[in-house]
Amino acid sequence: MIETIRVELGNRSYPIHIGSGTLAGGDLFLAPLEPTEVLILTNETIAPLYLAQIRANFTKKSCHNLILPDGEAHKNLETLEHILTFMLERGFKRGALLVALGGGVIGDLGGFAASCYQRGISYIQVPTTLLAQVDSSVGGKTAVNHRLGKNMIGAFHQPSAVITDTKTLTTLPDRELRAGIAEIIKYGLIRDFPLFEWLESNIDNLLGRDSYTLKTAISLSCKNKAEVVASDEKEENIRATLNFGHTFGHAIETALGYGTWLHGEAVALGMCMATRLSYAIGSLTMEEVVRVESLLRRADLPIVPPEGLSEDALLTVMKSDKKNVDDRIRLVLLESLGSARVTTDYPHEKLADAIKNGSVS
């Protein structure tokens, strides 16, 4: 059974289809679009697994595929130029459709290429990792990395649809699964305390890839994301709370080198740092901090900095974050479990302590 959640954005509204076997969705990919030609963008890991299934949906269309190297290290301007050149050389028109088949890197690259090509063409997100299914495929944020910062070059460009097939998670490595769970935990911490409690009861089933538990987690996450995006598409207020743990996390990824840690792993540690800072300024109790760290530890996610991660290096990267205001590092902190706020109002020394200190539990 396919569940459909809508992201309500007026004439840019679109569906999120979640189910088992949706890669063979046929009309899910074509209606209401009538593309002049199709580009399926994927990577070397995903292509042998799912490319043929996606191509089968476009037998009556001029369909091309471009297979990229896998990994965060390739999410850059050079790869973006390669995608655009591929489309230009084949004469793609403004009525073309780009299908982004893969995880967050392919989704971000494909979405950004679609936003740039002839000032914008349609694209569909087909996320194959848990992290992409619950977060990056929804909301229209597209970008590439720069050596000076993650996602510093990009655009808002909403997809025409998100098509999630839970069967793709059967081939997902355990480490990638855990990275996706970090983003699900995030929703529980910032706005959906019942989800956080549900995760405490169901984390073992989630790690065990129980199909019902996975679909439930994906659905609840997408509903949260859809509600936030519908109310604040361009991140002018409430959508910024979705960056909980990300300012720390992006800095960790940049400082360690893209691809050393997975995005979800860096966000997990970033959420711990933000939680500790929330406690330090009196918003959380120690019991709540322990509860957060306990859930992340049960998900086998990092909660302490790796050896050699310099506090100064992390702060330097954080100071260049695009979300900062008046040279103050803007952070998402917790007011309680299930409620968050965006602020620059915290003592600098407490920020430094939250970065360098280890687990409290």
% of residues, the chain, pLDDT over 90? 83
Taking the C-alpha atoms of residue 233 and residue 75, their distance in angstroms, rounded to an integer, is 23
157 counts as catalytic: no
Name the active-site residue from 176, 183, 265, 293: 183
175 counts as catalytic: no
Cβ proximity of 99 and 107 under 8 Å:
no
Give φ, ψ of 45 to 5 degrees.
-80, -45
237 counts as catalytic: no
For 231: left if phi > 0, alpha if psi spans -120 to 50, otherwise beta; the answer is alpha
Name the active-site residue from 243, 253, 265, 276: 243
Give CA 88 to chain center in angstroms: 28
pLDDT value of residue 201: 98
263 counts as catalytic: yes
Distances in Å between the alpha carbon of 257 and those of 205, 228, 288? 32, 31, 32
322 counts as catalytic: no
Give residue-wise pLDDT tens across range 251-285: 999 889 888 999 999 999 999 999 999 999 999 99
What is the CATH architecture of 174-356?
A: Up-down Bundle (1.20)
Tell me the sheet residues that pair with 122.
97
Name the active-site residue from 150, 186, 191, 239: 239
What is the b/e burial string over 152-189, where b = at least 16 CB atoms within 10 angstroms of the residue's CB? Answer: bebeebbbbbbbbbbbbbeebeeebbbbbbbbbbbbbb
Give CA 283 to chain center in angstroms: 27
| Token pair of 54 as six digits | 């996606």
Res. 319 pLDDT band, cuts 50 70 90 = confident
Taking the C-alpha atoms of residue 221 and residue 135, their distance in angstroms, rounded to an integer, is 8
Number of helical (H) and strand (E) elements in the chain, helices listed first:
13, 11
Res. 169 pLDDT band, cuts 50 70 90 = very high
235 counts as catalytic: yes
pTM given for the model? 0.93
Q: Helices (DSSP H) in the chain: which residue ranges?
A: 27-30, 52-55, 77-89, 104-116, 130-131, 174-190, 193-207, 211-231, 246-256, 263-280, 286-298, 311-318, 348-356
In 3D, which of 253, 232, 249 has the Cα closest to residue 241? Answer: 232
Res. 361 pLDDT band, cuts 50 70 90 = low
Could you please state the CATH topology (level 3) that the domain comprising 3-171 is classified under: Rossmann fold (3.40.50)
| Token pair of 162 as six digits | 């998100």
311 counts as catalytic: no
Name the active-site residue from 75, 157, 246, 276: 246
250 counts as catalytic: yes
64 counts as catalytic: no
Distances in Å between the alpha carbon of 56 and those of 23, 64, 98, 138, 210? 9, 12, 15, 24, 28
Name the active-site residue from 34, 78, 119, 147: 119
Name the active-site residue from 157, 191, 250, 276: 250
pLDDT value of residue 359: 59
Domain boundaries of the chain, sorted by first residue: 3-171, 174-356
Residue tagged 């998670």 (tokens): 169
